[in-house]
Each structure stands twice: as structure tokens, then as C-alpha cells.
Structure 1
């Protein structure tokens, strides 16, 4: 009970209103102290148990000579900010939590921690991948949302942020399993289409920028119909409804996606891209691009972009796809190019208008496991929220 009370107090302080977390209140130092402490702790865990919690693709970063010094600096900064928050803030929970997490990281060995001997099962959970992605994406979009917000009153720790952060954790920590399952179909196709060698060589010989442009269009065409089918067929909608159940839109909301849908989406999208001979660097660039692009489309970033929105997807274009109004149902399926929606009759972008609310008129469970089971337990029960006309 005491632990639950402590966590509730911590959450309330994180979610405090703007007027009680102004500059000089100790909230900013407490928040960033907590952020750096968690970052340092997770990196220490990844260094101590690399077989379990380290992503092989990030090995080059951890082998950098200054990496451990960077981890040490992160922990030192977290201590300093935690102490500052304890001095400034009447409610001590942020600073105290940051200090405790930082001290635990130090007790584990801090930046000088050495790898522990563990049995390598060949399976890892990308804890380092999670924290690096979260920091990079967060520092990219959180300031952008604050500088150019669509909904100015929406806070960083808005409604349901915990659920979306957990989805972010799952999709990044299970990156190995997700990638294996998603890439299995293309591996099968490549193994059984050796006769395509000449065609693949021709694709690979195209200029890099041409390959990238083809990948953008081809992937969006495939995703358009994949996306549309998840709206059309009731069983598939049960998975996609989880993504649409978010009642607030920001860069983190895009991570709310059912585990099964992630696998299917990546499988279908990667199938043509990884089997037609595109250069590996093109695919790597596309993966990085679409990761950032998806976060941008969900971000709480304003701007009408009336003309641009007819040809290139913008936050307002995609926000209409998430709208609760009836006019927002089953529209704007494209991820990159709205002209696909124009061609197939699903384009909707009323000039200068945004949807009033987000979500779906279904009674979707709040907790992760309830949402995970929702496609199989879904009754179609409507909520009291009636879609606006």
C-alpha cells in the first residue's frame, strides 16, 4: 500500500499543472533529474547484462571510448538536479526518486560496471534501444510541440501518457522478436526467388535517390491498402482499434499499437521493399525516415498547410484520421502521400479545421493486457461519447 501511495504521489507530481511547475519551482530540475537517472540506470543495466538487455546494433556506440564517461556524466547531472529539486520543491518525491535511482545505478557499478557472466540464450531485450530512442525522439518532438502546438493547453504528461509509454517500451524492447517475425515472410520469398536476380540487380543499379523515391511510393501504396483493410474488416479492426483509442494526439501516441498489428504491418510493408533488390542503405534510410515521420504525423504540432496537405501528409491530415467526428471515420489512410486517398476516394481535409476530439466510440479497456486481448474479447459496445456530426 505504501509503495502504491508513493507511486501515485510521483505520478501526480509529474502530471502537475503548469502553474505549479513553473521555472524555479523545482519541477524542471526534478523531472530532468529523474529522466537522466533513469537513462543512466538503464544504460548501466545494459552494460552489466549485455546478453540480455543490449542491442547488438548499438555495440558501436558502447565501444566508443567516451561512452562510459558519458554515462558517468549523466549520473552526475542526475544527482545535481535531484538535489536542486529537493532544495526548491516542497513536494520532494521527484528529487528523491531521481536520487534513489541514480544511487542504485552507482551501486551496480555506475559507468565502470563490468559485464556479468550470463548464459546467452540468443534472445535480447533492447533496453538500451528503448532509452536511446525515447531520448532522441522526445528531445526532437517535445520542444517542437511546445513551440508550435495545435492544442496549447495539452501537457507533456497528458491523459493516457503512461499507457503510450508502455507501448513504446514494448515495441522497442522486443525489437528482436518483432523484427524476426516481421521479416520471416521476406526471408522465405528471397530464398525461393533466385530467378529474380537480374531484376534485383537492375533495381540496385538505379540512382540512390530514385530507389528511395520508389520505396516511399511503393511502401505508402502497400500501407494504404493494409491500413484500409484494418478499418474495413471487423476482426482486423479489433487490433487497429487500440491505436485509435488514444484520446490525445502527440508524438508518443503513435506508439500505441497492438503487438499483432505491428508484426503484420512490418511484414506486409517490408515484403516488397526487401525482396525487390533495393540497396541496404536505402532501406536503412527509409526505416529511419518513417520512424520520425510517423511521430511527426501524430505530434501535437499546429499549422494548417492547406495546399501542402493535399500532396504530402501533415499532422492535420493524419489527425483527421484519428478524429471522433463522423466525418473523420475511414478517411486519410495514406502515411506519406494524400494523393493516394484522393485517387481512391478517402481524402478529407476541410480547410483550416481540425477534429474536435480524438478516439473511437467503443469501450476499449484502459490497461495494456485488456487492450492486448481486446480483438478477441471485443463486444462492439459503444461508449457514451457520441461522435460529433
Structure 2
């Protein structure tokens, strides 16, 4: 039994790690890294802090790639559980004849809506220890998009299953939505003061998202939309989008920025602290009797 389980796990790893999708992600990361280093070298913005933060982001991504089969298995279990609920869904055949571009737009809107609510959940006390890894970068740039804890990837997958499965959108349109969202995510994390003017409410800019990473109380839990800020306007989490010169990261909460090993274990460290604090409030220590 144990041997069969081990063989199954090895098979999953081989199939997933060397799948076209995973190899495409790896190719994109390599190309993005080379381009970013070339541009950074020419513009002389590769400070020691930027390099250490970027290295930690890439190390976090490497862990996620190695652990990707785990996400695959968890997503499969979540999908199976969702299927057993018997929730009505639009059959994929209903999309026959619908222009591909329309399906792609629906896919982008649906994915971004799910991303908004998963992002909002990650900014709650229970979710923050996971999302704090992404916010730990004190030198936000394109590599910050790769700094996502494995548990955050799992959380996002569960939200996609719960909020998007019923749409029945063909896989091709969903893949297109993922590609657009991935490119935009890298874009909004760039260390550039770019604003979209009258289109700020429609398409998130680097300036809009930089406020989300600002380590100032007024910006906490604000500008949660990944691509479409209208969600923030609708649900009360929109923040200003003027130039942001505030410090980045979460150092004031004791979150490390360049230690990749600590970032991998950070959710468990912060949950442990939360648990101890909750116990201390529930059963405070009493001083010696007078």
C-alpha cells in the first residue's frame, strides 16, 4: 500500500513538473529574469537590497514549483468535493458559438472577481500570515509577483473552484485569462510610477498597486483588486492612487524581507504567535498573591 502511494506520488511529480504548462511557466520566469536584470543593469537600479529581495522572491517561486504537484492534488480534491455538492452550473456546450474574445473577457472578469475575494480573505487575521509573505518585499518590483506562499496558491485555487466552476467556461478561455492576469500582475509590481489617468477605475496601474504594498496603516487592506479596481470601488476598499513614496514591506510587524527560509515557514510562525496571544488573553497570567 505504501509502495503504491509512493509510486503514485512520483508519477504525479513527473507528470506535473515536466508538463507543458509548468515548463511554460519556467520559461517565462527565466526570460523575465534575464530581461529584468538587463534593464536594471542599464538603468543602475540594482541596489544590494533590490538584489537580495529579488533573490528571496525567486527562491520562494522555486519552492512553489517543486511543490506544485501538491497544489495539483489539493485542487483535485477540492474540485471533487465541489462536484459532490451538486451545485447547478452552465454546461460547456452553452458557450458553443460564442465568440472566443467574449469568452476570454468573461474569463478575465470572473478570474479577477475571484482574485478580489480571495485577496480580501487573505487580508483577514487568519489569512494574513499566509499573505504576509507576498507583502514582505521591501523593494517591490516585478519579481515580487513571484513571492507567493504555496498556501496562498492553494487558497486561490479553492476560490477559483468555488466561484468559477459553475460558469462552465471552456478551458481555452480560462488559460487566456490566466496569461493576461499573469502578465498584468508582473506589470503592476514594476518599480515604475505609472498612472492610467481616467482609466484608473478600469485597469490597475503600478501606482495603484504600489499603495497596496505601502507599509502605512491607511493603506492596509486597500486596493485589493489585481486587475480591475472597480471591485474596490464597489466594495469599499478603494484607496487613493497618487504618487506613493511610503516604505514597502511589513518590517514593522517583524516580517523578514530577504530570508527565503523564514518566508517559507512564516505562516506557521505567525499563526503560532496568534495562538499564544489568544491563549494569553483567554488565560492571563496572574501575579503572586499579596
**TM-score, normalization by structure 2:** 0.76
1:228 to 95, 120, 130: 120
Q: CA deviation at 1:210?
A: 1.2
Q: Which residue of 2 aligns with 1:15?
A: none
Q: What is the distance in 2 between the residues matched to 1:344 and 1:130?
A: 33
Give the SS at the match of 1:378: helix
Change (3 A) 1:154 1:317: farther
Contact 1:248 1:358 in 2 (8 A): yes
Change (3 A) 1:177 1:269: same
Q: CA deviation at 1:380?
A: 10
Are 2:201 and 1:306 equivalent residues in the alignment?
no
Change (3 A) 1:54 1:271: closer
Contact 1:142 1:156 in 2 (8 A): no
Q: Which residue of 2 aligns with 1:368?
A: 263
Q: CA deviation at 1:374?
A: 2.3
Matches of residues 1-389 of structure 1 in structure 2 within 5 Å?
52=14, 55-58=17-20, 131-142=26-37, 152=45, 154=47, 157-190=50-83, 193=86, 196=89, 199-231=91-123, 233-351=124-242, 353-360=243-250, 361-365=252-256, 366=259, 367-379=262-274
**TM-score, normalization by structure 1:** 0.58
Contact 2:149 2:264 in 1 (8 A): no
Contact 2:225 2:231 in 1 (8 A): yes
Contact 2:114 2:164 in 1 (8 A): no
Contact 1:334 1:341 in 2 (8 A): yes
Q: Which residue of 2 aligns with 1:11?
A: none
Contact 2:87 2:166 in 1 (8 A): no
CA RMSD, 1 decimal:
3.3
Change (3 A) 1:225 1:53: closer
Change (3 A) 1:143 1:349: farther
Q: What is the distance in 1 between the residues matched to 2:88 and 2:133?
A: 41
Change (3 A) 1:192 1:207: farther
Contact 2:129 2:268 in 1 (8 A): no
Q: What is the distance in 1 between the residues matched to 2:200 and 2:36?
A: 20
Structure 1: 5+ residue runs without aligned partners? 1-50, 60-125, 382-389
Change (3 A) 1:369 1:313: closer
Change (3 A) 1:56 1:164: closer
For residues 280-326 of structure 1, what are the alpha-carbon distances to aligned partners after superposition, in whole Å with 9 as ceiling and x for unaligned? 21112122222222122212233233323222011111111000123
Change (3 A) 1:53 1:170: farther
For residues 245-297 of structure 1, what are the alpha-carbon distances to aligned partners after superposition, in whole Å with 9 as ceiling and x for unaligned? 11111111122222212101122124443442211211121222222221222
Pick 1 or 2: higher relative contact order, CA cutoff 8 A, min separation 6: 2
Change (3 A) 1:237 1:169: same
Give the SS at the match of 1:201: helix
Contact 1:325 1:355 in 2 (8 A): no
Q: What is the distance in 2 between the residues matched to 1:168 and 1:369?
A: 10
Contact 1:313 1:337 in 2 (8 A): yes
Structure 2: 5+ residue runs without aligned partners? 1-12, 277-290
Q: CA deviation at 1:164?
A: 1.1
Q: What is the distance in 1 between the residues matched to 2:88 and 2:201?
A: 40
Q: What is the distance in 2 between the residues matched to 1:271 and 1:174?
A: 22
Q: What is the distance in 1 between the residues matched to 2:230 and 2:87?
A: 35
Q: What is the distance in 2 between the residues matched to 1:316 and 1:143?
A: 23
Contact 1:203 1:276 in 2 (8 A): no
